[in-house]
Amino acid sequence: MTISKNGIKVKIFGTEYRIKGDANADYIRQVAGLVDERMRQIAEASMTGSVAKIAILAAVNIADELLKERLTRESAMDKLSERLKQAEENGQE
């Protein structure tokens, strides 16, 4: 299911948003669900009632996870490239 011209409605932290884009509607729902879940976790754990602060903390947490995943993937790719290079060198001998 793709998103219509009008977009898809999602609810994040009690507020409804209409998201437009080229992504699959189920994917957009998953993304919105992740943001909503993270904001709720932060709201429960913190003393702030500011939606803006909760949203920023959620964004920082999600960005932290993304960066860690990227670094892990890059490290794995580097190791794989090194192994491939060694295998090629061993095969030429």
The alpha-helical segments, DSSP class H, found in 1-93 are: 25-45, 51-92
- Please state, rounded to an integer, the average pLDDT across all residues of the chain: 92
Q: pLDDT higher for 47 or 68?
A: 68
Q: By the 8 A CB rule, do 20 and 7 touch?
A: yes
pTM (2 d.p.): 0.78
Token pair of 86 as six digits:
């060694």
Band (90; pLDDT cuts 50, 70, 90)? confident
Cα separation, 13 vs 68, in Å, equals: 25
